[in-house]
Structure 1
Amino acid sequence: MASTTTNALLFLACLCLVALFPPTLAQTPLQQPQQPLRVRGQQLQHECDIQQLTAAEPTRRVRAEAGVIEVWESNTEEFRCTGVAAVRYVIEPKGLLLPSYTNAPYVTYVMQGKGIQGVILPGCPETFESPVRGGSEGSKGVERDQYQRVLRVHEGDVIGSLAGGVQWTYNDGDTPIVSITLLDLSNPQNQLDLNFRSFYLAGNPQGQGGQEQGPKEVVGKNIFNGFDDELLADAFNVDTETIRSIKGENDERGSIIRVERDLELLSPEWDDMEEERMRRLNGLEQVLCTISFKQNIDQPSRADVYTEHGGRINTLNSHKLPLLQHLQLSVERGVLYKNAMMTPHWNINAHSIIYITRGTGRIQVARENGLVFDGRVQEGQLLVVPQNFVVLKKAEQEGLEWVSFKTNDNAMISPLAGKLSAIRGMPEEVLMNSYGLSRDEVRRLKYGREQLSLFSPRLD
């Protein structure tokens, strides 16, 4: 009886152990642990021992029929550390940036011009219709052209895109569209490698003349080029002549082509109040097919921080544009007035990629063992600031403006000076002993700036 009772107790104990530690958690030599999603920068941590940063302009460019694409060299220490790539596009009037998708999510800031942007996501319905003009006989009775989202974009807009989402851009204005795009190659959405890849659905992106040796990221052949003509004709239910046209083998216009006549597209002209109303109605419950893909970040009335004679900061995060939660990116727009300064600060949870949009100024960046950048910056230059590196910006006579792309959808900074600074949050005695200062000197250090993060010029 005692033996039976003992065996029963042992059996119950085994059952309890199985309940507490199920077999799926126990690994045998034949079982491999499930690979976790790639954490940002995890594979690059050994490459972030940066001793010097550079404010750089694009190093490579390719000319197309109706525009230019410029790419920053991504095989540098700072780009490898942050896992990003940057591209600048110039689309001339009546220029069409051909439909393409990328291996990584990205955000685009429109610096100049206006136009139309198309967004195509798999599985989403065709929600736009416009009359078909000049349709041929026998086109199965189609009376209206149906397509997915078309956005009206203006200067100051930030537009997001998921990895693998198709986009195209058409300039229907009178001036070039100039934009800067930041691609997050280390984002978990990218399951390939840390190389930026554009997959074009049309044209011959090799450049004007078809022979130009441009950056590998933006040149090459379109995605249909290598397929068998007969198989594609069968897939689309069209003739092989049509297939040869979509392959673009003899197309010498490049990836930005000139449209001979205006594209007559249906695009709703919503004002800012309507967009704000839609965001309020949908909020975080928006699904990707109806989610907003853009928001303007240049409006002074929407500034998050403003200082008279100092400047303003507009931030765009996932609370304001829910799409950014899917992209794990955010954007900061900064304007410093003449001789004004932004508090020295570090980014708590993100890398920051700063593109100078206007003006000139001085920037210093320091890591834990000293200064890694001290230089004058100007329009068109890009500076990568890794997470936790401290950065200080000061404008010159004409002011300084920038847009910062940050690798977190709710990026946060920690200021070192000003009303909300780390220094101000410490007890006087801690600062006195840490710095060897008197109490009066510490109080001047703590309370010398009453502004938040943008400081007006000192009156000497």
Structure 2
Amino acid sequence: MATKLLLLLALSLSLFASVAVGRQPSPYQLTQSQQCRLQRLSSSQPSQRIESEGGITELWNENEDQFQCAGVAPMRNTLRPNALSLPNYHPAPSLVYIEQGEGLLGVTFPGCAETFQSEKSQEGRGEEEQEEGGSSRRDYHQKIRRIRRGDIIALPSGVNHWCYNDGNEDLIAVSINDLNHQSNQLD
């Protein structure tokens, strides 16, 4: 399991490194003498473990050299069967890898009001959107998708998300949050 986590971490680091190279220089970039040495990566154990009725959240210390170098904060969530993770929000984008299990993921995108939809587009709705009373109602801001083992989900910054484990085994999700992303900066 540690090798899977290390592989996921290495892939995430290479993704974030390639994105960082393509961006304009920022005042947060390190000088030549301060740059990280990625050949010193090692596997590590979570530094904090939070247990609840619905599962376990494990956090790694983002101040470790290898995580500081990459500008990421790793986290692993274990959701027990028939458990719901409460909606949560991260100001930075993140990648989530589903290590085990299956369930539903809901992502709420903030944005345009419902009045933004034109009347013409509302007339052409399919039967799947019709309620029993015959009136049509759909949530345009929330997307609900089935997730299962092996899926990789990219969550943009600022979205609200929740997860429900409707399977018979624990749902384990490992996420990497990009702390160096410009949307996570105060200035």
Specify the TM-score bucket, using the shorter chain as the normaliser.
0.5 to 0.7
1:32 corresponding residue in structure 2: none
1:191 CA displacement? 2.0
SS at match of 2:44: coil
AA at the equivalent of 2:78 = V
Does the CA contact (< 8 Å) of 1:39 and 1:188 recur in 2? no
> What is the percentage of aligned positions where both structures have the same residue?
36
2:29 corresponding residue in structure 1: 42
Which digits, 9 at most, give the CA deviation of each residue in 1:104-143, with x for residues without a partner? 10110101111000111122577985758xxxxxxxx996
Inter-partner Cα distance in structure 2 for 1:125 and 1:158: 29
1:123 corresponding residue in structure 2: 111
2:165 corresponding residue in structure 1: 171
Q: 1:65 aligns with which of 44, 53, 72?
A: 53
Show the 5 A alignment for 1:203-242: none
1:37 CA displacement? 5.9
1:168 CA displacement? 0.8
Show the 5 A alignment for 1:174-185: 174-185=168-179
RMSD: 3.3
Q: Identify the range of structure 1 (86-95 vs 145-154) with the bigger mean alpha-carbon deviation.
A: 145-154
1:436 corresponding residue in structure 2: none
Structure 2, unaligned runs of 5 or more: 1-22, 115-124
SS at match of 1:189: helix
SS at match of 2:85: strand
Which digits, 9 at most, give the CA deviation of each residue in 1:197-231, with x for residues without a partner? xxxxxxxxxxxxxxxxxxxxxxxxxxxxxxxxxxx
2:77 corresponding residue in structure 1: 89
Are residues 42 and 172 of structure 1, via their aligned partners in 2, closer, same or farther at CA, if it must alter by over 3 Å?
same
**Number of paired residues?**
150
1:77 CA displacement? 1.1
Does the CA contact (< 8 Å) of 1:50 and 1:77 recur in 2? no
Inter-partner Cα distance in structure 2 for 1:104 and 1:98: 18
1:97 CA displacement? 1.1
Inter-partner Cα distance in structure 2 for 1:144 and 1:65: 37
SS at match of 2:61: coil
1:156 CA displacement? 0.7
Show the 5 A alignment for 1:45-444: 46=34, 48=36, 52-123=40-111, 129=129, 131=131, 146-147=138-139, 148-192=142-186
Comparing both structures, which one devotes a greater share of its residues to helix? 2
Q: Which has the higher contact order (CA 8 A, sep 6+)?
A: 2
SS at match of 1:80: helix
SS at match of 1:100: strand
SS at match of 2:186: coil
AA at the equivalent of 1:122 = P
TM-score by length of 1: 0.29
Inter-partner Cα distance in structure 1 for 2:157 and 2:92: 4
Structure 1, unaligned runs of 5 or more: 1-35, 133-140, 194-460
SS at match of 2:68: helix
